[in-house]
């Protein structure tokens, strides 16, 4: 029988490896930025076109490569970071597996320009689908420039799985921000389709956070510092009042490497216990420095998950450090037994003695005695005069127990307010008028129908009603707006401002009026009639989160997504009590919708229970 096992060709093996290393344009950005940092660069530029699908270029001023190193860098498992297997447990660099450039070159057109500091000229290598097209001498500045064009050009199936440019650009910016936050001592710049999105000079860690997320972030940060034998913690956490409904601004860095850890995230959440509103998440930017021998980095293809030797100790240290910082800066209530200078005696009263009041009792006082002459007694400080008591029997004149006048007076007593408790069985007027809706646990509306009963989820039903109304307003463009007495100014990051600009036209069709949109803030002078002013920031935050995370593919409708997001934010919540007319109105509006059966998120809005089903429950 013939042998059936064979070695795969190099270009096929490279494409398989590329499936692990390169999942989307953001993966290429991450690998190239990390290589630039390992090369000792002080200035790094990232140039993006069409969210990285057309071009990804990283330019650095690092030490560069020789002619031989430039050619070897595209071979599989070729790296300068490790020599032996033991080096895997002493890592202080970023890319170390030697698969990044080989995998990228297998699925894209790559051009590499590099020059070392002592050389007169550099080298340029052009590779297309793992095939070296040319390698020549070129005049180029010191450092390395890598251009990745036409990603997945030879794997169209993988290219079809990419999301829209908006989603892919968000992932690229996320990777850029993670690397930039981990290295504030390096200057970074990002150019998207010819325009500058970020320009981050060398700065301290706090200023780097402010440069990325906006100037208003500065006043929201609480520093965290802790040094122990096991772990060094430094960075910042956000104040509880600025917590967001999304987890966007949550960053853990272990030895200057971004990681994701649900376990450590729980430690932060427990430190904020009792300080956050329901459904909100704290912001944090924390650097953890541990012994490289106590962690294993290479357990995940993207190296964003790390295995710790002693997670329980890290959990306790992290939780206590954050809790201590919140208490130290008066963010959280603490028990402090030290003297509070605010409670000191003012200077004017510091040397004065307290005046002790004198208490005297008139033992001869009789309230029922009819005194004709007032008695007076004088003390050193106060004079008291006893008034004669009136004839106390006259107080009861006219209060006979049996009198028509008394009965008449009490019959006209009106109570200020009296709480009424509706009853399902005794309210005959309600049944006669056809009002048969009842609210159950402030969550469901129960109504009777001919075949049985109807149970409606009030939150989902209201979502469906608002969704169709908003869609109609955006399509017909006849939304009603209410002007604000004072303009509302909201502050967002540069990435969020970009999303607002993209959705501005659709938002204006719903009733929003924007007077000014600059690099860090949005000024609103009008809102839709159904939107309270206090809910505007929550609605916009939820909308931006939905645009970033919930876009299904490149063929989505921005108008549809906007209507869904706003309906979700504006719908009445579970636990809200509704009056009878509000319940009836909700039911009537629901069944006037085109698709009353499901909510905008494709969930059932109501269920029916027939009489037969109810009868079976009593068998």
Using alpha carbons, select from 70, 75, 193, 199 the residue that is nearest to residue 143. Answer: 70
Least confident stretch, 122-126, 261-265, 313-317, 347-351: 347-351
Q: Is 166 exposed, middle or buried (0-12, 13-18, 19+ CB in 10 A)?
A: middle
- CB atoms < 10 A from the CB of 220, how many? 20
State residue 108 phi and psi, 5-degree precision.
-155, 175
* Phi-psi label, residue 384: left if phi above 0, alpha if psi -120 to 50, beta otherwise: beta
Q: Is the pLDDT of residue 400 over 70?
A: no
Burial 305-322 (b: 16+ CB within 10 A, else e): ebebeeeeebbebbbebb
Long-range contacts from 514-519, C-beta under 8 angstroms, 24+ separation: 515/487, 519/494
Cβ atoms of 173 and 197 closer than 8 Å: yes
pLDDT at 306 (0 to 100): 75
How many residues would you count in the chain? Answer: 619
Say what the pLDDT of residue 535 is: 79
Going by C-alpha positions, the residue among 576, 613, 614, 609 that lies closest to residue 461 is 576
The full 3-state SS of 418-461, as one line of letters, equals: CCCCCCCCCCHHHHHCCCCEEEECCCEEEEEECCEEEEEEHHHH
Which residues in 437-459 are b (16+ Cβ under 10 Å) and which e? bbbeeeebbbbeeeeebbebbbb
In the predicted structure, residue 463 carries a pLDDT above the cut 70: yes
Q: For 321-331, what is the mean pLDDT?
A: 83
Domains of the chain: 10-200 (3.30.565.10), 205-328 (3.30.230.10), 439-607 (3.30.1370.100)
How far is the C-alpha of 189 from the C-alpha of 43, rounded, in Å? 8
- Cα-Cα end-to-end distance for the chain: 69
The pLDDT of residue 528 is: 81
Structure tokens at 352: 């004065």
Q: What are phi and psi of 235, to 5 degrees?
A: 140, -155
- Helix 580-590 / helix 458-476 crossing angle, nearest 10 deg: 60
Give the contacts of 552 (CB within 8 A, at least 6 positions apart). none
> Hey, how many other C-beta atoms are within 10 angstroms of the C-beta on 196?
9
Question: pLDDT per residue over 413-446, tens digit each?
Answer: 565 555 555 544 444 444 444 557 888 888 899 9
Per the CB < 8 A criterion, the answer to whether 61 and 115 are in contact is no
Indicate the DSSP class of residue 363.
T
Residue in 212, 130, 75, 227 with CA at minimum distance from that of residue 493: 212
Segment 200-228 mean pLDDT: 90
Question: Is the entire prediction scored with pTM above 0.85?
Answer: no
In the chain, pLDDT over 90 holds for what percent of residues? 21
Calculate the dihedral angle through the C-alpha atoms of 32, 38, 40, 44, rounding to the nearest 10 degrees: 20
DSSP 453-500: EEEEEHHHHHHHHHHHHHHHHHHHT---EEEEEEEEEEE--HHHHHHH
- pLDDT, tens digit, for every residue of 485-528? 889 888 887 778 888 888 888 788 778 899 888 878 899 999 88
pLDDT-derived band of residue 88, with 50, 70 and 90 as boundaries?
low
Condensed to tens digits (0 to 9), the pLDDT of residues 232-280 reads 999 999 998 888 877 778 899 988 888 888 888 899 989 988 888 877 8
């Amino acid at each position: 029988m013939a042998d059936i096992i064979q070695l795969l060709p190099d270009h096929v093996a490279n494409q398989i490896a590329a499936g692990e290393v390169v999942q989307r344009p953001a993966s290429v950005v991450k690998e190239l930025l990390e290589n630039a940092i390992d090369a000792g660069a002080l200035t790094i530029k990232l140039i993006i076109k069409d969210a990285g699908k057309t071009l990804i270029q990283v330019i650095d001023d690092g030490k560069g490569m020789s002619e031989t190193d430039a050619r070897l860098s595209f071979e599989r498992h070729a790296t300068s970071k490790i020599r032996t297997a033991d080096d895997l447990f002493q890592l202080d660099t970023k890319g170390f597996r030697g698969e990044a450039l080989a995998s990228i070159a297998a699925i894209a057109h790559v051009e590499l320009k590099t020059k070392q500091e002592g050389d007169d000229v550099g080298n340029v290598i052009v590779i297309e689908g793992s095939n070296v097209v040319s390698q020549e001498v070129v005049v180029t500045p010191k450092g390395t420039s890598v251009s990745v064009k036409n990603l997945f050009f030879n794997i169209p199936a993988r290219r079809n799985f990419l999301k829209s440019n908006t989603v892919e650009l968000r992932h690229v910016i996320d990777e850029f921000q993670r690397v930039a936050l981990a290295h504030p001592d390096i200057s970074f710049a990002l150019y998207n389709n010819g325009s500058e999105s970020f320009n981050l000079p060398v700065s301290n860690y706090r200023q780097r956070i402010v440069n990325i997320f906006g100037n208003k972030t500065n006043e929201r940060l609480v520093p965290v510092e802790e040094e122990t034998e096991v772990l060094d913690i430094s960075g910042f956490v956000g104040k509880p009042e600025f917590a967001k409904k999304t987890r966007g601004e949550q960053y853990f860095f272990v030895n200057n490497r971004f990681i994701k850890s649900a376990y450590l995230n729980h430690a932060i959440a427990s430190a904020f216990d009792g300080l956050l509103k329901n459904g909100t998440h704290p912001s944090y930017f924390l650097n953890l420095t541990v012994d490289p021998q106590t962690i294993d980095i290479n357990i995940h293809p993207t190296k964003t998950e790390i295995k710790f030797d002693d997670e329980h100790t890290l959990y306790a240290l992290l939780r206590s450090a954050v809790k201590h910082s919140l208490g130290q800066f008066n963010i959280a209530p603490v028990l402090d037994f030290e003297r509070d200078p605010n409670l000191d005696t003012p200077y004017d009263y510091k040397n004065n003695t307290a005046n002790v009041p004198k208490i005297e009792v008139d033992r001869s006082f009789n309230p029922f005695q009819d005194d004709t002459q007032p008695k007076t007694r004088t003390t050193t400080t106060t004079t008291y005069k006893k008034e004669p008591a009136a004839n106390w029997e006259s107080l009861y004149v006219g209060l006979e127990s049996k009198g028509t006048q008394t009965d008449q007076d009490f019959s006209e007593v009106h109570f200020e307010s009296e709480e009424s408790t509706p009853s399902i069985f005794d309210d005959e007027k309600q049944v006669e008028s056809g009002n048969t809706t009842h609210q159950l646990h402030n969550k469901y509306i129960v109504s009777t129908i001919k075949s049985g009963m109807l149970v409606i989820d009030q939150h989902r039903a209201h979502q469906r009603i608002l969704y169709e109304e908003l869609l109609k307003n955006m399509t017909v463009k006849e939304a009603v707006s209410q002007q604000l007495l004072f303009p509302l100014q909201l502050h967002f990051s540069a990435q969020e401002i970009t999303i607002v600009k993209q959705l501005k036209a659709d938002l204006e069709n719903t009733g929003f009026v924007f007077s000014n949109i600059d690099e860090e803030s949005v000024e609103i002078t009008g809102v839709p009639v159904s939107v309270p002013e206090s809910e505007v920031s929550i609605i916009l935050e939820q909308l931006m989160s939905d645009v970033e995370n919930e876009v299904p593919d490149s063929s989505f409708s921005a108008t549809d997504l906007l209507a869904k997001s706003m309906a979700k934010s504006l719908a009445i919540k579970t636990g809200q009590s509704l009056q009878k007319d509000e319940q009836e109105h909700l039911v009537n509006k629901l069944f006037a919708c085109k698709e009353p059966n499901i909510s905008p998120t494709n969930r059932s809005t109501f269920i029916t229970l027939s009489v037969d089903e109810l009868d079976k429950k009593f068998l």
